[in-house]
Amino acid sequence: MISLEEVRQKILERIQPLSIEEIDLSEATGRTLAKSVHSNDAIPPFDNTAMDGFVIHSDDISGASESSPTTLPVAGIIEAGMPGDTPLSPGEAMRIYTGAVIPPGGDAIVPFEICQQDGTDAVTFTRAARHGDHIRRRGEDVPQGGEVLSAGTRLSPAAIGLLASVGASRVSVFRRPRVAVHSSGNELIPIDSELSPGKIRNSNLYSLCARLKRWGAIPLPRPVLRDDLDEIRKGLKETLEEKPDAILTTGGISAGDLDFIRDVAREMGEDVQIRKVSMKPGKPLVDGSLGGVPFFGLPGNPAACLVSFEMFVRPALAQMEGRTDGTPPLRSGVLSAGCHLSPGQRLRWLRGRVNPGGVGAADMIDLPSGQGSHLLTGFSTANCLVRIPASELELAEGSTVEYWSLTEEEA
């Protein structure tokens, strides 16, 4: 048996970043920048007011107080969007609205709320203002010529806004991985079919494609591969013609006589390894490449298939796209109930549901019943995988455990 970390490292050594494409900014949320973006402009492009009020020379009202107010004539109005290039003469004020340009000479804003407006021609101040009050400076967000975001940044909605503000209407990002998914097994029937003796519905195709979509990859569902050497060879060859960035199969990789995926991958592929990973679920794994395309032979058991996806495929897809959330740091939480485990040699991943603990409190984790590698009901509401070392047999209520989050960081 080989440790999960060692297998993951071997897999990641083979993964190359995908090519770069230029896309519209409006399509770029969640994508990873492949080239850093610099700004030709300073943002904000001009000094402007953060408040609706009056722009003044602060010196002109330095002596203003409740007992000794200062009144200034109002010389004009500056609205947002106007050039604001008429200078403010000493001893005068101008009405100004949020986002409008500070006119030459003005150095402070007094908000409407704290001045007395005497008709439209004059305004009275009862307190002094400081140089720079309520003024947002040119270049405060982005200096002219400065780097706005560096290559490798995953684009959040706010990052999209920032790039829009500097006029980056097209951005260079890594391509999203196109991932072919094959199920295998004579027992599989389409999910819209009635069951017949010995048959089950092909659920892994759907769970894997759903996982890929949630990740931001493009799933390419492929036909079921029957347990037949020639059919598997033909199916995988046809899939290679689709030029996917990775190929996943599920089932057919254990020690059974009909587990031909394993044999065909070895025959057709390069550096194909047949693993016994020291984890439960997810002991069998085949990894390598087929025609230069990263290949993952995942287990057939529905829960094992998803756990192996998390541990090996997710980190590989992340590396292809320059993302950093492929192998999330383990977090710690507290079990809401005790649990008893059967003895074993392998690290165990239990499906769990984390409930955030709130301020100062630990995250609480519920473990659903039904942890078998063939069971999906408990998995269906899980949002984490709890890592239990092989040596643990009994975990009391309140035990601190580590978990892998099944939900990626939001971009």
The site for ligand AMP (CB under 6 A) is made up of 183, 185, 187-188, 200, 202-205, 250-252, 254, 256, 299-302
Least separation in angstroms between CB 187 and ligand AMP: 5
Least separation in angstroms between CB 273 and ligand AMP: 17
**How far apart are alpha carbons 43 and 397 in whole angstroms?**
54
Residue of 358, 355, 307 whose CA lies nearest to 334 = 355
Please say which residue, 251 or 322, places its beta carbon nearer to Mg ion: 251
Whether 181 and 248 have beta carbons less than 8 Å apart is answered as: yes
Q: Residue 240 CA to chain centroid, in angstroms? A: 29
What does 149 bind: Mg ion, ligand AMP, none (CB cut-off 5 to 8 Å by kind)?
Answer: none
Residue of 352, 347, 350, 364 whose CA lies nearest to 398 = 364
Least separation in angstroms between CB 31 and ligand AMP: 30
What does 336 bind: ligand AMP, Mg ion, none (CB cut-off 5 to 8 Å by kind)?
Answer: none
Beta 284-290 vs 293-298: how paired, if at all? antiparallel
Please say which residue, 83 or 256, places its beta carbon nearer to ligand AMP: 256
Please say which residue, 61 or 208, places its beta carbon nearer to ligand AMP: 208
Please say which residue, 284 or 328, places its beta carbon nearer to ligand AMP: 284
**Residue spans of beta strands (DSSP E) within 336-399:** 339-340, 347-355, 363-366, 384-388, 394-395
What does 204 bind: Mg ion, ligand AMP, none (CB cut-off 5 to 8 Å by kind)?
Answer: ligand AMP
Q: What are the φ/ψ torsions at residue 200 (nearest 5 degrees)?
A: -135, 160
Least separation in angstroms between CB 207 and ligand AMP: 8
Q: What are the φ/ψ torsions at residue 317 (nearest 5 degrees)?
A: -65, -40
Q: Which residues, in sequence order, are bridge partners of residue 390?
A: none
Least separation in angstroms between CB 6 and ligand AMP: 22
Please say which residue, 252 or 322, places its beta carbon nearer to Mg ion: 252
Least separation in angstroms between CB 265 and Mg ion: 14
Residue of 12, 32, 13, 10 whose CA lies nearest to 23 = 32
Whether 123 and 109 have beta carbons less than 8 Å apart is answered as: no
What does 326 bind: Mg ion, ligand AMP, none (CB cut-off 5 to 8 Å by kind)?
Answer: none
Least separation in angstroms between CB 298 and ligand AMP: 9
Please say which residue, 144 or 186, places its beta carbon nearer to ligand AMP: 186
Please say which residue, 309 or 403, places its beta carbon nearer to ligand AMP: 309
Please say which residue, 11 or 232, places its beta carbon nearer to ligand AMP: 232
User: Which position's Cβ is nearest ligand AMP?
Assistant: 300
Does residue 251 interact with Mg ion by CB under 5 A? yes
Does residue 185 interact with Mg ion by CB under 5 A? yes
- Candidate segments 28-36, 67-75, 251-259, 373-381, binder of Mg ion by CB under 5 A: 251-259
What does 203 bind: ligand AMP, Mg ion, none (CB cut-off 5 to 8 Å by kind)?
Answer: ligand AMP
Show the DSSP H helices in 151-246 as ranges. Answer: 157-165, 203-215, 229-241
Please say which residue, 77 or 191, places its beta carbon nearer to ligand AMP: 191
Does residue 297 interact with Mg ion by CB under 5 A? no
Sign of CA dihedral 250, 256, 258, 261: positive
Please say which residue, 15 or 253, places its beta carbon nearer to ligand AMP: 253
Least separation in angstroms between CB 346 and ligand AMP: 17
Q: How many residues bind Mg ion (CB under 5 A)?
A: 3
Least separation in angstroms between CB 252 and Mg ion: 5
Does residue 284 interact with Mg ion by CB under 5 A? no
Q: What are the φ/ψ torsions at residue 305 (nearest 5 degrees)?
A: -60, -45
Mapped onto helix, strand or coil, the DSSP state of residue 406 is: coil
**How far apart are alpha carbons 233 and 261 in whole angstroms?**
9
Least separation in angstroms between CB 330 and ligand AMP: 28
Whether 311 and 282 have beta carbons less than 8 Å apart is answered as: yes
Strand order in the sheet with 108-111: 108-111, 53-56, 93-96, 70-78, 122-125, 115-118
Q: What are the φ/ψ torsions at residue 210 (nearest 5 degrees)?
A: -65, -40
Positions that interact with Mg ion (CB under 5 A):
185, 251-252
